[in-house]
Amino acid sequence: MNYFHFHRDKLTFAPEMDCLLNTWLDSPVLQAAAGISLVSAVGLLLSRIKILGISLGITFVFFAGIIAGHFGLEINKDMLYFAQSFGLILFVYSLGLQVGPGFFGSLKKGGLLLNSMALCVIFLGLILTLILSQSTGISLSTMVGIMSGAVTNTPVLGAAQQTLLQIQPDNNSGVTEMALACAVAYPLGVIGVILAIVLLKKCFVSETDKTKKKENRSPRPNVTEYLVANPAIYNKSIQEIVKSGGKEFVISRIWRKGNVFIPTSDKRLQKGDHLLVISAQADIEAIKVIFGEQENIDWNREDIDWDVVDRQLVSRRIVVTQEKVNGSKLGTLRLRNLYGINITRVNRAGIDLIASSALRLQIGDRLTIVGEANAVNNVGKILGDEIKRLDNPNLLAVFIGITLGVLLGAIPISIPGISMPVKLGIAGGPIIVGILMGAFGPRLHMTTYTTQSANLMLRQLGIVIYLAGLGIDSGAHFFETVFRAEGLLWIGLGFILTIVPVLLVGFIASRFLPIDYAENMGMLCGSMANPMALTYANTTVEGDEPSVAYATVYPISMFTRVITAQLILLLFM
């Protein structure tokens, strides 16, 4: 069927095609769905492009929307606003749900120093934002938009736009200008962090710094050998020693008189016992005081009877899928005593935890269990170990969480010194509820687990819809803004906001604090929410230290940026 007809100098459409176009033009729902989907598809295709090995990733969706808006794509304002808002809500809630299990743990021990430095990067950027706004005469709302692009953080832009509308409900032009400022600053925001890493590596970091050992700061479990030489613990049970010691550790093996065995919690220690202990590195010295001596023995010696242990002994990773276990303390299950097994690791959301008796299990936890095959299989039945059950995401928790997050974001909070009440908005409320649901939901026996792929799908879908709508809304005036003096100034200011905090904090961390090069780079990338820079940082070192540091600071950094972007507008506008 021919839908097109040529008449001399113009193109006309057949009645069937004309009817289709009229349906398109008369339906704002079709316009919004098709327009946003098309922009998203084009942007995701472009995201595969790399220049000098660097890609802007899904941010290309933002720029695809800008180009579409520039060439006249218009979508009903109400539909566009809903799509943007719901996309942002979906993204920040899913993000909170993902980082929640490790959020509060990242504030402890070695993570405390890294998070403190990440917060320094954030607050230095806020101070510079205020200074540059005052010195250049650029409105604070526009400077916050520039800052959002400089730190490559579009959720911050969404939170700031919501706050601006809360302060000035009719300031739609200010909201649009904020998005334009973010767009022009974004590309150099990505590149600026990578340049800062290169400068830190070349100018400020010696080879000694790069390979410096992190003896007392690793958040991951460590295996250490001890000799029982403290009379105060002779003939005491392991359970009694753990309770009185005040530290979290697991005794994995005991070597006594040539025999090696897996201990239960009621096993009593004797003078001269050799122990393999799993603990945090920061607790090694304290645990040494408890047992008496630290040693470095060869556990492969011929006089150690490993047959006693290795007869039918297996090591398996078992996944918690049983809802009855969700939120239960490991000690209350009495798995070690009842089945003679040992739990050496608990992996949660990619982070290894010490299997202490006080640790509350969550759906999705992966436990490394050592013991006789039959015993391990029985423990697997108790914990669930049905991975297929995890393939179905618990959407009930997602929708309940989003509802609670939106309600929390709408609650006015009075703060002394601020004339109008503060609202967390659709960015702040859902991320807080997501973090709390991920961290404490299991204690209420609420299943909040989603597979990494499912969570990533929700996050990507949300942020892509948000970026597409944001780009379409900003596109009409983008190029005329970039190619004028004001646009060039925005680009320059954005670059300053990117590189100055990263260089300054990175230099202080490498020179005056016990943070090595790899952790320093990961911390800086996490504080700027810049996975592209993290990819580069990982190529400069061996091991996964940058990624671990990135994951340690990312949750608190994301949360802080979203909240402070709103507070700075409420306090100073």
Domains contained in the chain, CATH given:
75-212+411-453+479-572 (no CATH), 221-388 (3.30.70.1450)
* 110 or 10, which is more confident: 110
| pLDDT at residue 46 tops 60 | yes
Secondary element (H or E) of residue 5: strand 4-7
Taking only the tens place, the pLDDT of each residue in 275-313 is: 878 777 777 888 888 888 777 766 555 555 545 545 556
The pLDDT assigned to 57 comes to: 67
What's the mean pLDDT when you consider all of the chain? 77
70, 80 contact by CB (below 8 A) = no
Say which amino acid occupies 542.
Answer: E
**From 23-32, 399-408, 519-528, the region with the lowest mean pLDDT:** 23-32
Residue 151 phi/psi, 5-degree rounding, is -100, 10
Q: Which residues of 276-298 are buried (b: 16+ CB within 10 A; e: fewer)?
A: bbbbbbbbbeebbebbbeeeeee
- CA 308 to the chain's CA centroid: 44
The pLDDT assigned to 500 comes to: 94
Taking only the tens place, the pLDDT of each residue in 479-512 is: 776 677 788 898 899 999 999 999 999 999 888 8
| pLDDT at residue 112 tops 60 | yes
- CA 323 to the chain's CA centroid: 25
Handedness of CA 78, 79, 85, 89 (dihedral sign): positive
The pLDDT assigned to 215 comes to: 42
* DSSP per residue, 152-196: T-HHHHHHHHHHHHHH-TT-HHHHHHHHHHHHHHHHHHHHHHHHH
Mean pLDDT, range 404-428, rounded to an integer: 75
CA distance 176 to 471: 10
Taking only the tens place, the pLDDT of each residue in 308-357 is: 545 556 778 888 877 777 778 888 888 877 777 778 778 776 667 777 77
